[in-house]
Amino acid sequence: MPGASLDFFYEFGSPYSYLSAMRIAALAERAGVQVRWRPFLLGPIFRAQGYEDSPFNTMPLKRAHMWSDLDRLVRIAGLPAVTRPEPFPANGLLAARVAVWLDDASRPAFSRAIYVAEFVEGRDIGARETVRQVLAGLGHFCDDILAEAEAPANKEKLRGETEAAQRLGLFGAPSFVTRDGELFWGNDRLDMALDHARAIG
């Protein structure tokens, strides 16, 4: 029998995905749940819903609240203070392609490092050099990985992950999907998602 598992869908431009990415490993270990990290792109999903931009950009009051909320949440989580990246949301396409190309063992560390570069250090993760430096800092042969990540087959792999997210009914990030297809949306639903994953085994 397989053990309890949870699919973690995240977007590199998403501040709340950053929070979940920094918390999920320890919480999942305590819960006895295996996590599959699944990067995807929100842009195509937003466009399918009629949005041409992030709702945080089209609704200034929502955006202002989001940043103050994030400041509170990182303090509670014991994470470094947030640096607001510019532009926002960041272009996470290259980072997502790299994350999809990496194996399951390497993907979490890379993803967390990208989020730190973006939301702690305020670096532009849409810049090729930023992604290259993150890879190098993790000991990867970065130029080889970047070339592989931008190959047509890997671009199609990321497109497939985004299409899979759409089929599962995802509309935002982070989202968590359990073995029985239950969808939990938002950083504040992470504990609930883990509890459900553990309950169904």
Supply the CATH number for residue 69's domain: 3.40.30.10
Count the domains in the chain.
1
Q: What is the DSSP string of 35-60?
A: EEEEE--HHHHHHHTT-SS-HHHH-H
Grade residue 2 by pLDDT with cuts at 50, 70 and 90.
Answer: low
Catalytic option among 14, 17, 20, 54: 14
Per-residue pLDDT band for 160 (boundaries 50, 70, 90) equals: very high
Residue 106 known to be catalytic: no
Residue partners of 179: CB distance under 8 A and separation at least 6? 2, 4, 5, 197, 200
The domain in which residue 113 lies consists of 5-200
Q: Residue 64: its pLDDT value, please?
A: 93
Q: What sign has the CA pseudo-torsion 128, 54, 163, 25?
A: positive
Which percentage of the chain shows pLDDT scores above 90? 88
In this prediction, residue 141 has a pLDDT band, given cuts at 50, 70 and 90, of confident
